[in-house]
Structure 1
Amino acid sequence: MPQPLVRIQLTLIIVLLTSLLSFSSPVQAAPPIRIQLIGDSTVATYNKPPKDRPDMTGWGQIFGEYFTNDVTIFNRAASGRSSSSFIREGRWKKALEEKPDYLFIQFGHNDCPGKGDRETDPATTYQQYLKQYIDEARAANIKPILVTPMTRRRFENGQIWTILRPYADAMIKVGKEKNVPVIDLHKKSVALFNQLGDAGSSDFSPSESDRTHFSRKGALEIARLVAEEIPTTVPELKPYLKQPTPKKD
């Protein structure tokens, strides 16, 4: 058999074997990752909820329900904390020591005016604290993700009335300056509550008088609003989401 023909046949065999091996090789699974959450009472976990609000649930408490088993969630959010007090109390230092792969940051409710030494200015100190979280997280090889604070369920003339937009805007500004992904949960929650109305969203609250925190149903919906933004905002986390993203009850 002429040598050129032999070489052609060998080349074809090699190509065929390579194709078969490539086809039969299993798709490599996404490696396990660790996600940490820091924030206030709207994010926190309630293992022992208040007796008058037994269904009280933070969205961080059930965030893991939107992810596959390859994700471990560490919810370090704490009730009553602001961007400043979380650092001042040493909670941020302890959170950093866990060295997660990703860090979701949501503060704002306790940064608002009237919160005493927890209060921050959205134009100055609030942004400074956010930048501290970002810089120190990156120094520890942790990827930060900013989440603007969701609105309270306070309505005026049938529409949401909020004082948190300046903090949401400040967080978006910091995200652009620091090249950090931002999920605008404030905008999404305002749109959702305006759509549902006061009566239509009433079962999102843990009690009739509490318009800041959430029932389990409300927390699931708020967590869903965050999760559904992940494919476009943090695309590398998309393989870890359960598909499709679950909807509200």
Structure 2
Amino acid sequence: MPTFSPTALLAAMLLTGGAVAQPTSPYKFDFGSGKTAPGYTAVAADAAYSPAQGYGFDFGTSVTAVDRGGKDALRSDFVTSPQPFYFSVRLPEGNYTVTLTLGDAQGPSTTMLKAESRRLLLETTPTTPGQFTTQTFTLNVKSPRISATETVGLKPRELGKLDWDDKLTLEFNGPNPCLAALEIKPAPRATTVFLAGNSTVVNQDDEPWAAWGQMLPRFLGPGVAVANHAESGLTLGSFLGSRRLQKVLSVLQPGDYLFIEFGHNDQKEKGSTDGAWQSYSERLRLFVRETKQKGGIPVILTSTSRRSFGPDGRIENSLGDFPAAARQVAQQEQVALIDLTLMTTKLYESMGPEESKKAFVHYPANTYPGQPQALADNTHFNPYGAYEIARCVVEGIKANKLGLVKFLRPTPAFDPAHPDPLTAWQWYGSPRSAVTKPDGN
């Protein structure tokens, strides 16, 4: 197999203004200080990312190279760090099959893997001395470019997001991640699940904020990629106005999916033609019909409930008629519906008024750097809450018998009335944190 050629890729990107067809050869990296496996590019511990090189350890993170010796050049050496570290590869827009070899020939390892803006790929995965695990994912790299003259209207906060840059970034986390090898191959025939939504769906860059869209990849196996085009604060109208639907439709292929969840911020629109039964319903129909016209499969999701307990310990409806309107549009347009309002209401009520705070951004002062005041947000989730809601979405995929069922990784059935106990769930935080509440209501 040809080895990775970052110089050739960079030249092609410069000649075409950044728009370049996917490479046809796999990128194969062998990490560590020992022998390099045939056909692989050696990556030493000091290989810092640069656009000219096209790959390397990124954002100032560092690793240590370990060489155990032996005949197996690929598995005899690796890189590791007691702190999270990032490895980036400059890639054009598209889907890629990413295969990693993790483990240590002589010692234990424990790895959690995320991609881009904290998309969860692999929960905490240990290996014993001499044991290796090979993990494969299909990942999406997206670009704001729509055409030679049009781009997505990004918000200022999105300009620094890993989701919108010109590379694929992997975050290696956990007590002792041991990365031996990485292979990246274009996956042009993979199915794509596009996500359209707001702050309850978006890939949140910073701890402790999270949304279900960035947890969904953990439940999907190779052959399907999640392309999350959601952004905090958006409505159906502003998603359209910032050319995000136009972007999705420009790359959507027949058989791809568009999951649509809006409502929280649409409630704030108070024009004479706004409301659940007017502009909201009309725009939902537009999203559905435009997706169908391209050969895609639209799926409507009702809004996640807010943590709005009444005196009786039950969730009070804070979403007005918007969930009912979404249900009606799904029925009229004969498309799948995932009722997150119903499932999250059941989820929060099963936890109760106090325990449910543990699924949201409720933290005492000084939990995170630069946080002098307590955080108490009843709309936005922390990673645990986002994970539980992603499990609700998975159950919705199963209930609707979507074609995506064949891509689901094996996991036990989930009942929102019996959530995973927080004590049994593990999350290693990413380096970046923020105390500013994301846009949204």
TM-score range, shorter chain: 0.7 to 0.9
> What is the rounded CA distance, in whole Å, between the counterparts of 2:248 and 2:197 in structure 1?
11
Consecutive unaligned residues of structure 1, counting only runs of 5 or more, are 1-30
Measured after TM superposition, the shift of residue 196 of structure 1 is 1.0
Aligned partner (choices 221, 237, 242) of residue 404 of structure 2? 237
Measured after TM superposition, the shift of residue 116 of structure 1 is 5.6
SS at match of 1:211: strand
Kindly indicate which of the two structures has a greater share of residues assigned to strand: 2
Query: Which residue is equivalent to 2:199?
Result: 41
Give the counterpart letter for 1:95 in structure 2.
V
Q: Are 1:99 and 2:99 counterparts? A: no
71-80 or 157-166, larger mean C-alpha shift = 157-166
Query: Which residue is equivalent to 2:221?
Result: 68
Residues 151-190 of structure 1: per-residue CA shift (max 9 Å, x gap)? 0111111111222151111111001111100000100111
Measured after TM superposition, the shift of residue 198 of structure 1 is 1.4
Aligned partner (choices 210, 216, 231) of residue 78 of structure 1? 231
Measured after TM superposition, the shift of residue 229 of structure 1 is 1.8
Consecutive unaligned residues of structure 2, counting only runs of 5 or more, are 1-188, 363-374, 415-419, 426-441
Identify the structure with bigger relative contact order (alpha carbons < 8 Å, sequence gap 6+): 1
* Mapping 1:1-249, distance limit 5 Å: 32-47=190-205, 49=206, 54-100=207-253, 101-112=256-267, 114-115=268-269, 120-157=274-311, 158-207=313-362, 208-245=375-412, 248=420, 249=425
Q: What number of residue pairs does the alignment pair up?
A: 212
Residues 178-236 of structure 1: per-residue CA shift (max 9 Å, x gap)? 11000001001111111111112111112341110100000000110010121221332
SS at match of 2:409: coil
Kindly indicate which of the two structures has a greater share of residues assigned to helix: 1
Return the index of the structure with the highest Cα Rg.
1
Give the counterpart letter for 2:327 in structure 1.
I
> What is the rounded CA distance, in whole Å, between the counterparts of 1:184 and 1:98 in structure 2?
27
> What is the rounded CA distance, in whole Å, between the counterparts of 1:116 and 1:66 in structure 2?
38
SS at match of 1:34: strand
SS at match of 2:230: coil
SS at match of 1:37: strand
Measured after TM superposition, the shift of residue 246 of structure 1 is 7.2
Instruction: State the TM-score, normalizing by the size of structure 2.
Output: 0.46
> What is the rounded CA distance, in whole Å, between the counterparts of 1:237 and 1:165 in structure 2?
31
Query: Which portions of structure 1, spanning 4 or more consecutive aligned residues, are displaced by more than 4 angstroms?
Result: none
> What is the rounded CA distance, in whole Å, between the counterparts of 2:270 and 2:214 in structure 1?
27
Contact 1:150 1:185 in 2 (8 A): yes
Query: Which residue is equivalent to 2:69?
Result: none
> What is the rounded CA distance, in whole Å, between the counterparts of 1:238 and 1:165 in structure 2?
32
Specify whether residues 245 and 77 from structure 1 end up closer, same or farther in structure 2 by C-alpha distance, changes over 3 A only. farther
Residues 101-130 of structure 1: per-residue CA shift (max 9 Å, x gap)? 011000000011x3467x941111111000
Contact 1:224 1:245 in 2 (8 A): no
SS at match of 2:193: strand
Residues 60-95 of structure 1: per-residue CA shift (max 9 Å, x gap)? 011111111221110000110011111122121112
129-138 or 230-239, larger mean C-alpha shift = 230-239
